[in-house]
Amino acid sequence: MKSRTVLSLILLVSLVIAGSWWFLHRDEKSLAAPPNVSKPTKPYVAKYVVKSGDTLGLVFGKKARAVCELNQLKNCNIIRIRQELSLPDGVEAKIVVRKPVQRLADGSLPIARLNVDPYGPHRTTEKDRKILEGRGYASVEIDEYLSLRDQGKCVREEFPRGTKFPWMAYGKARVLENLTAVWKQPEFGLVCQLQSGRNVVILEKCDNLTEVTPRVPVPVVIPPPVTPPVEEIPPPEPSQPAEPSEIVEPPKVEPPTPSLVPIPDQPEPKVKVRGSDYDAALYAGGDTSPVGFAGGIGAYYPMLTETKHGRLATGVGAFGSGWLGKTEDFSYNGARGAIGLANKLSTPGGVDFGIKFPAWGKSWERGHNSSGYQMSRTASLFCGAFDVTDARRERAGEKWNPEYLLYLQLCRASNIKAEHSYQGVPITDTTPLQNLSGIISVGGKLYWAKDLDTVFGGDSEWGKKLQPFVELGADRAIPTPWSWHAYPIGVRTVDKIWGVGVGAHVTEGRAVFGGAVTYDLGRDSKLSIERKRWAEMVKSLEAQGVAVD
């Protein structure tokens, strides 16, 4: 009877996931054609050849759907340059007048936002080399840049409004030239200073590659000290014979060689950044014992600060889980959750450190069997959650072991309230139920290849969209025994949103088949926003006559 509470909780989590998906994609207007489009019986001879910058809505207006249905397009938002479209009767293409590109007074292209569509999901060594070769860099310069980048020897600098960039790579390693920053807040980047005098820059917010003019340090020279004049010794008087004596010459003082005085490094101030950040992840699973579980973890960071180590986000976080199951004749369910302070440090190299501490919460447990025994227990929790994600090898373009994740959750139990009864008669001795000192969860994931094509040596679309991983974790409500889970088979979408792992759940030496599904709600929300911004920017550029493939 009590199990209905946790069953309702799991159903509620499922509804939250479905509702979140609908909420994120409710504004994405699609002109997708109906699946069953009847073929036209009348031959249409009017044709239109797609040009750069064309969209169905821009060229055909309200008749865009009719053109889409006639040509049986799977997605009416996607057409290709030089694609030939059949036109229904009475439909003609509009004459599209494209405005010239609006540039600044000096002819440069204004760049306002850089956190949209970095070139590829992550920068790679191959793309960096291709871009720099196209900009006239010698092989020795490229090798020096890659060495400085991989060893973390590039210097972090601030780029204010008005900074001139001779070129910038974006999208799929494409390049724009002659740019001027018009952003409101300064952006940060890693400047890799080459011995040739050129400076390659990795902009932190968007991961784009660019270049700035060389910085020439002004040396500080100490002038030589002024040597005081040496007094001459007068010769002896002629009337008095002088006794032979040694003439002692004054010591010569050599002026010191002018030397350069290094300018001491000043501690980099912390810079507050406008805006906020958030993250949220959900999971659900079960095994054949049977048991089912669901939960989530997330945080909202209203305060962002740029430090010399990276971006520090500060705010409030929460985590929780619920479960229900059955062992032989005993059915049980429960839930726990906590809320508290949250901090996340994101380094330029690709490492994220997260901590949610201190956090306060509650734990609820219920259980019963068919003979009439019932129990319940609640406890107050004082918790901390820690996690680290290291994607430095992925940033460097490595195909094997590109990323790993480690996590730890600790909770101390107090104020335990327990009661149990048999066939409605209370049992006064609750000592066995009072024995709960704490809860611990620990584990990790290793994403051991870039994608499945890397593993099997193939070249398929689905192989490029899935990334394999292995997972190992353990949980314990002290002093009860450990419960383990091991997922040797796991895949995640390369956009890092959905994941599924299967393997074994082990409790008290008994192993059963189990698995879990994960959903990164926060990342999906951010990518959805970025896709909309990118589409708006492409639409704006196309309206100005800029060809965007």
Q: Evaluate if residue 229 carries a pLDDT over 90.
A: no
Section 455-478 average pLDDT: 91
Question: What are the φ and ψ backbone dihedral angles of 147, each rounded to 5 degrees?
Answer: -65, -45
CATH class, 31-97 region: alpha beta
Question: What are the φ and ψ backbone dihedral angles of 231, each rounded to 5 degrees?
Answer: -70, 135
Give the pLDDT band (50/70/90) at residue 484: very high
Separation of alpha carbons 394 and 281, rounded Å? 21
Domains 31-97 and 272-536 share a fold: no
Question: What are the φ and ψ backbone dihedral angles of 46, each rounded to 5 degrees?
Answer: -70, 135
Domain ranges of the chain: 31-97, 109-216, 272-536
For residue range 76-123, list pLDDT tens digits in order. Answer: 877 887 888 888 887 877 655 555 556 666 666 676 544 444 444 456
335: number of CA atoms within 13 Å, CB side? 18
Separation of alpha carbons 156 and 311, rounded Å? 12
For residue range 509-542, list pLDDT tens digits in order. Answer: 889 999 999 999 999 998 888 888 778 877 777 7
- Specify whether the CB–CB gap between 416 and 478 falls below 8 A: no
Number of helical H runs and strand E runs in the chain: 10, 23
Q: Which residue has the tokens 């550029």?
A: 541
Of 1-10, 189-198, 372-381, where does mean pLDDT reach its minimum?
1-10
Angle between helix 521-543 and helix 3-25 axes, rounded to 10 deg: 10
Which of 510-542 are b and which e, b meaning 16 or more Cβ less than 10 Å from the residue's Cβ?
eeeebbbbbbbbbebbbeeeeeeeeeeebeeeb
Section 209-222 average pLDDT: 59
Strand partners, 326: 331
- Which residues touch 408 (CB under 8 Å, ≥6 apart)? 385, 386, 387, 440, 441, 442
108: number of CA atoms within 13 Å, CB side? 16
Separation of alpha carbons 77 and 31, rounded Å? 7
Alpha-helical runs (H) found in 71-229: 125-134, 139-150
Strand partners, 466: 493
Of 114-118, 203-207, 244-248, 461-465, where does mean pLDDT reach its minimum?
114-118
For residue range 167-178, list pLDDT tens digits in order. Answer: 888 766 678 788
Q: Is the pTM of this model over 0.95?
A: no
pLDDT at 256: 54
Provide the pairing of β-strand 174-181 with 109-111.
parallel
160 vs 239, more confident: 160
Q: Evaluate if residue 399 carries a pLDDT over 60.
A: yes
DSSP states along 389-406: EE-HHHHTT-SEEEEEEE
Section 144-152 average pLDDT: 86
DSSP 105: T
543 three-state secondary structure: helix
Q: Evaluate if residue 268 carries a pLDDT over 70.
A: no
- Specify whether the CB–CB gap between 308 and 348 falls below 8 A: no
206-to-37, 209, 348, 395 alpha-carbon distances in Å: 42, 9, 11, 13
User: Rounded to a whole number, what is the largest CA-CA distance in the chain?
Assistant: 141
Give the pLDDT band (50/70/90) at residue 41: very low
8 three-state secondary structure: helix
Separation of alpha carbons 170 and 180, rounded Å? 15
CATH of domain 272-536: 2.40.128
Q: CA torsion 343→348→350→352, rounded to 10°?
A: -10
Is the peptide bond preceding residue 236 cis, with omega within 30 degrees of 0? no
Q: What percent of the chain has pLDDT over 90?
A: 32
Section 249-273 average pLDDT: 52
5: number of CA atoms within 13 Å, CB side? 12
Angle between helix 125-134 and helix 139-150 axes, rounded to 10 deg: 140
